Each structure stands twice: as C-alpha cells, then as structure tokens.
Amino acid sequence: MSQNNSAMKVVGQSIPRIDAPIKATGKARYTGDMKLPGMLYGKMLFSSVPHASIVRIDVSKALALPGVKDVIVGKDTPGIKFGNWRLFPATQDELPLAIDKVRFIGDAVAAVAAISQDIADEAIGLIEVEYAPLPAVYTIEDSLAAGAPLIHDENKELTNNISLDRKIDVGDVDAAFATADYVREDTVFVHAVSHAYMEPCAVLVEPDTEGRLTIWTSTQTPYIVQCLLASTLAIPENHVRVVKPYIGGGFGGKMELRPWDFCASLLARRTGRPVRFVLTRVEEFEVGRRRHGMKIRSKVAFKKDGTLIAKDFEAYLDGGAYNSMGPTATFLCGNFGAMLYRYPNYRYRGHHVYTNKPPAGAMRGFGAPQALYLSETQMNIAAEELGIDPIELRLKNAMVTGDVIEGVTRISSAGFVESLHKVAEMTNWKEKRASLAPNKGIGIGCYSFISGGVFNWFNTQYNFASCEIRAYSDGTAHLLTMAADIGQGSDTVLRQIMAQDLGLDPEQIRLTAADVTMTPKADLGTWGSRVTLMNGNAVLDATQKMRAELAKMVSLRFNLNVIHEVAFADGRVFAKAQPAKGISFGEAVTMWVKANRGEELVVRGHYTPRDLGLTSPAYSFGAQVAEVEVDPETGVVTVEKVSTAHDCGTVINPLAVEGQLEGAIQMGLGYALCEQFVMRDGKTLNTTFLDYKVPAAEDMPAIASAAIETYEPQGPLGAKEAGEGLAIPTAPAVSDAVWHATGYRCKDLPITPEKILRATGKL
C-alpha cells in the first residue's frame, strides 16, 4: 500500500489518549451514568438452579407491586436463539430468556422494568418460579461420561455434550513420531478466570414511536449487537441503533448479545419508555462470560539436536451451558497450538464441551493463553530434558518471515528470533539461568498472536472495516469509524494514522466512532487484536483517496506536471520538490468544494482481508522473561521483574503499547498466580473483588521492555497487533521461573502457595 511520502511525524509519537483527560477527570459518561426522562430501571431474574425444567413462572405479585411497569418471561419473547455469532446455525443455542429449561445458575428467566432500581430489585424477589430439577454436570469428565445428562437434548444432531469438534491435519504426524529421537507428552488443566473489567455490563435503550430502538450498551461489538438484537427481536436490523458510550474495559467479555440487552430492548418497546439495566459486580461474577477452562494434551517430537518434527495437540474446552464464543475458541486454540515454532507435521483435535456452568466466551488471547501455556511449558521441559538452553531450543525452531502452514498461517513478518536474542541480552539470561541464589528463579515464555481474523466469523456481507473522512476548509477533518475503542486506545491510534497520512495535527481531526447508524457499515468490533490493522488499513484507504483528490487541486493551482510528487505535511499540500508551490490543506479543500459545485469532500475507505489464508493477515511475536523469588516457608511467589522483547511491527504509539504491556502483565500474573473461580454445585462462590483476587498496583513487578520493530506488509504503515498477545507469555514465564526456583512444574493453573508447598514437601 502506498503511503504518504512525508516523514513520520505523528506515527511513532507517544501521544496521550484522546479519552485520557475526560476519563481522568471523571467526566466520561458510561452507560450507568446515563439517565433519560421517564427512564425505567431494569433487573434480571437469573436461574438459581444449575439444570431444570421450568414448570411454572408466576409474575403476578411482581406486576402488582406499585411502580412496576412490566415483567417479561421467555414466552413473551419471539423465542429466537443466538449463539457463536451467526456463522453456523447449529451453534445458535441460547435464548435471551429461557422458555422451558435452564442450564446454569445464571440463565436468564425473567426481567422487570420499574420506576426505581429498588422497586425493580424487590419485584424480582416476588417472581415465583417452579423448577423440576435435572441432573447436572460440572466437569469435562462428568459431562463426557456415559449416561451424562444431555444439556442440549433439544438439538437432535448432538448425541453427547460435545457441541463442536475442530480438526487440523498438516503433514503426517504419526510417521514423524516414528522417526523421533525424543518425544514428550504432557497434559495440563488451565482454569477459567474472569475478565474482571472495571465497568459492569450496562445497557440503556430508548424507543422511538415507530418501533426503532437506540441502544447504548457496554459492548466491544456494536454491529454484532445490532444484528443479533434485531434477529432475536424479529425486527429489521436497521431499526436498531447501537451507540457505544465510554467503556470500562471488555477483554472479550463484551462481544456478544447479552440477555439484558435483549430485555431492556423488549421492555422499552413494550412500555414505550427508556429502560436501563446495570449489572452488579456480584451478577457479573455469577453470569458474566469467563475464559475457557481447558484440558489440553500435547505430544511433541524432536530430533536429537532439538529440531521439532511433529506435534499432536488435543483440547477439551469447558464451555459451560452454551456455545457463546466457544466454537471460535475451539478453532483458534488449534491454530495457536501450531504457532511460534515450525512444526512440519501438526495434528489438532478440539472439542467444545457443555457443562452446567456459566458459559465461557472470548477473553484476551482467545484460546492462545491456554494453548501456549502448555506449548511453552512443554518447550521448557523438553529443553531441560534435551539439555539445551530453552532460548537456544526456541531459536532453533522459531518461526521466521515467510513461514506458511497451509490453511493455518502465513507469516509475512516475524521478529521472534530477534525478540529471543534481545530478551536474553536484556536479562543476562544465560548467567542467571545457570547460577541464581536459592529460592530465586528465572523463566521464559513466548507468544505469537493474530492481528484480526481473515475468516468471516460473522458472515457479514460488508467489509470488515470501513471509515469515512470528511475534510473542511477550516483545515480540520472528521474521521467516522465504527471501530469500538473500549479503552485500548484505538481511537487515538486511528487518528494518528490519519493525521500522519494527511499531514494534519491529530487535534484538528474530529473522531466519531462506533455508532452503527451513523458511522460507515460495517465493523466487526474489537476482538482478536484486529482494530489497528483492519481499521488502520481502512483509514489509509480513505486517506489515499483524499490525497488523490487534493493533489489534483494543487496540480491545477500551480500547473504542476505529472512528475511532481505531491506531499502532505504540516497542514499543507505541496509539490514535494518545490515546497513553496503549495497551499494549506483547508485551501485545497475549498478549491475542491468549489470545483465540485458545492459538494462536501467525503471519501470512504474499506478493508477486508482476502486471499490471506484462514486465520489472520499478520502475526506478532515476543519473548518474556520473569524473575521470581519463592518464599520456601509460605510458598508465596514474588515476581520481581518481567522483561519483554516483542515485535508488533511499526509502533504507532509507544505510550499505548507500554500501557498494553503493563496491563497484559497484570492480567498474566493474575492468571498465573491468584485468579480462580471457586465453584460448588454449579454456583460461583467468590463474587466480589474481595474474594476474587486480581493483582493490584502494589503486586506489580519491575517491567522492562524492548520493541523489535519489523515492517508488516499487511499492516497500516507496517503495524500489527500489540493488545492481546502480550497477555500470553507471563503465565508460562512465571511458571518456568517457579520451577527454576523450586523444581515445581505447574500443570494445573493457578500456581498457589499450597501447590508449591505440597510439591516441595512442606505440606
């Protein structure tokens, strides 16, 4: 893609986020801050039992409570299912309100709209539900056992609780194993964790008088919510306007239609009044999506010199009661199992398993933290057993630019080898790994991640990313994009890309984002680290069209001939070789408007990856080293330092990448050391931040990082992802460091003091 020929002035700068001042001063309006005249307050009734038939629901007492305006149950709805987006009809297994069966503690059963939150809360307690209990299963093993209850017996295609299988077969795995010098097989259990976003889910719906709805909802995927809401309400798609307000994090937990979105919408249509739902933190922990717990087995084969020759990888995903995004996670987990190293022969078998627990969905990394926890841990074990330094073993097998796994990946840029060298140098790896003080450990974990998906996961007819740019005589411009900034900083980054390519000051660019009715259709949302690459490419498509239009004006004004390159910089448009022959950006726009007899200068840009394999247009890579101290008496792990060298292509905004890295390490530490759900009979017991332990600021280690800049040909100005991949390496790195300090190799996250003490014979 040809880009602006002036030097990089905006891209590469640590520009503070557009939303930093408004968030830091507390003025940003989140959905829960919004209030409309006549607004009703909503509350959901969630199932209190893990698996049951609904015999009877009596809402009469709730309806009779003064101030209650409406109560809805499943039979008041069109009864249309949704599921793993709209890709495969068979994965649509969830009703917005249960009709005759509940499948987990938290399945939505009824919803109330009342004139105050207190009344709505009280009304929920007045709804009588009679359940006929059914046997329930809570583990992958129980769910797959002979005679287990069929959780989705309504789906006649299913003969057990596996909702979906996924296969990958590359080369001849069995033949390769037969020639191996060294084979290693491990099985790990990686646990479910919470997204723990700061803002609980919230939705506000305002009806108009013709059946249309405007919805402010805490979502990563406004377009997808629009489509699924319209489908479940059985109304035209474009009667639903989803507007993304400020969002307090998502991490994958806000990329689906949720029952409160549907209930607020239906209640708004029925009452003719705005309706708002705000979940409590307890509800979030009980019914919010979570990261998939998985049971994963990996068998790898090496030649004596450490060369990998085959991998046989199998994952069982604990999906909970519904598919949610599980089928996609089952797909991606297998792809991630094939990443980082060159496996000439690769086999994957993935299985998505129903259990009577809250459904698992997407979460930062989307299958990769689980797959790579095992891959990386196994690589460290193999290195030990082969007597090769873990970094050396990785360097021998590392993916490089140009690698292709047919049907899985095409690596158009990879800075993995450089990352490994760099992190070794940054940490003085060899020396420390060889000679550390007692109870100290140093360990390594690596990652690779996608920059958005090539596969049309949502079966959209529209481009994957689109934008519109309008330019004005006053020297300002307006970027309209459906991209959803949920806190990751994409608005800032897209504006930098646009400013760079048009030679404008970012502050002169107005940005309107993520309003499905007003911003150009469509955009698949924020997930899979797709936004910078896909929307960035859409922006560049538009800026290039804009530059072509304005270059004409300068050519006309100065009678430039064809050899003149027209440059855009410092708010000017000019002949590159004769900068005096130029005019201001605004003046060029004025010329254009006049030449076009009063039309506004508007261009649209698009991006859809085509013919780029099945997974992603581009891949990030990186290596991370953790240094820990383990208290031998208490088993408490203190992570002292985390060092990362990583390749995210061109770094558009170093400050933003740094923020992603710090947040990712925090999340990785929680995954590795302290976060877990405590469940009993399908019920989540730890439902507050007092009981569900997330690392806080004082738990953070020292952080060192180095960017290995590559130029990604598929990315905007060479950029690729920096959002999710960084959340992957911390758990294996810390786990390896704990092994290095204690000899305990964790195969069932999290690494608790109790497990360490048991392993070291102290308990």
Binding site for its own copies (CB under 8 A): 18, 21-22, 25, 27, 29, 33, 37-38, 208-212, 230, 236-239, 272, 460-464, 466, 472-476, 478, 507-508, 510, 512, 517-518, 520-522, 590, 593-594, 597-600, 602, 604, 606, 608
Name residues whose C-beta falls within 8 Å of residue 438's C-beta, 6 or more positions apart in sequence. none
**3-state DSSP assignment of residue 639:** strand
Instruction: Answer positive or negative: Cα dihedral of 335, 341, 342, 343.
Output: negative
DSSP letter for each residue of 96-165: SS-SSEE-STT-EEEEEEESSHHHHHHHHHH-EEEEEE-----SHHHHHSTT---TTTT-TT-SSSEEEE
For residues 655 and 706, which CB has a smaller minimum distance to its own copies in the complex? 655
What's the min distance (Å) between Cβ of 21 and its own copies? 4
CB burial readout 65-77, b (16+ within 10 A) else e: beebbbbbbbebb
- Which residue, 435 or 461, is less far from its own copies as judged by CB? 461
Of 133 and 272, which CB lies nearer to its own copies in the complex structure? 272
- Where does 288-348 have alpha helices with state H? 326-337
Question: Do residues 540 and 1 make contact, with C-beta atoms less than 8 angstroms apart?
Answer: yes
Closest approach of its own copies to the CB of residue 205, in Å:
14
CB-nearer residue toward its own copies: 477 or 652? 477
Would you state the structure tokens that stand for residue 151, as one six-digit string? 């959780």
Counting Cα atoms < 13 Å in the Cβ hemisphere of 698 gives 0
Cβ proximity to its own copies, 55 vs 518, nearer residue: 518
Residue with Cβ nearer its own copies (275 or 674)? 275
Nearer to its own copies, 272 or 407 (CB): 272
Q: How far apart are CA 611 and CA 220, in angstroms?
A: 26
Q: What are phi and psi of 372, to 5 degrees?
A: -85, -20
Q: How far is the CB of 519 from its own copies (least distance, A)?
A: 9
Q: Which is nearer to its own copies, 589 or 707 (CB)?
A: 589
Query: CB of 528: closest distance to its own copies in angstroms?
Result: 18
Q: How far is the CB of 32 from its own copies (least distance, A)?
A: 12
Least Å distance between CB 598 and its own copies?
A: 4
- For its own copies, the closer CB: 212 or 281: 212
What minimum distance in Å lies between the beta carbon of 90 and its own copies?
23
Q: Smaller CB distance to its own copies: residue 39 or 301?
A: 39
State the nearest-atom distance from the C-beta of 718 to its own copies, in Å.
25
**Among 280, 118, 291, 290, CA closest to 201:** 280
Cβ atoms of residues 573 and 553 within 8 Å:
yes
How many Cβ atoms are within 10 Å of 700's Cβ, its own excluded?
14
User: Please, what is the minimum distance in Å from the beta carbon of residue 660 to its own copies?
Assistant: 22
User: Cα(447)–Cα(624) distance, rounded to whole angstroms?
Assistant: 8
**Which neighbouring-strand residues pair with 529?**
none
d(Cα 368, Cα 375) in Å, to the nearest integer? Answer: 10
The end-to-end CA distance of the chain, in Å, is 61
Closest CA to 448 of 572, 343, 318, 602: 343
Burial classification of residue 11, based on how many CB atoms lie within 10 Å of its CB (0-12 exposed, 13-18 middle, 19 or more buried): buried
Closest CB to its own copies among residues 438, 598: 598
Q: Which of 416, 477, 460, 451 is nearest to 531 (CA)?
A: 451
- Least distance CB 418 / its own copies (angstroms): 36
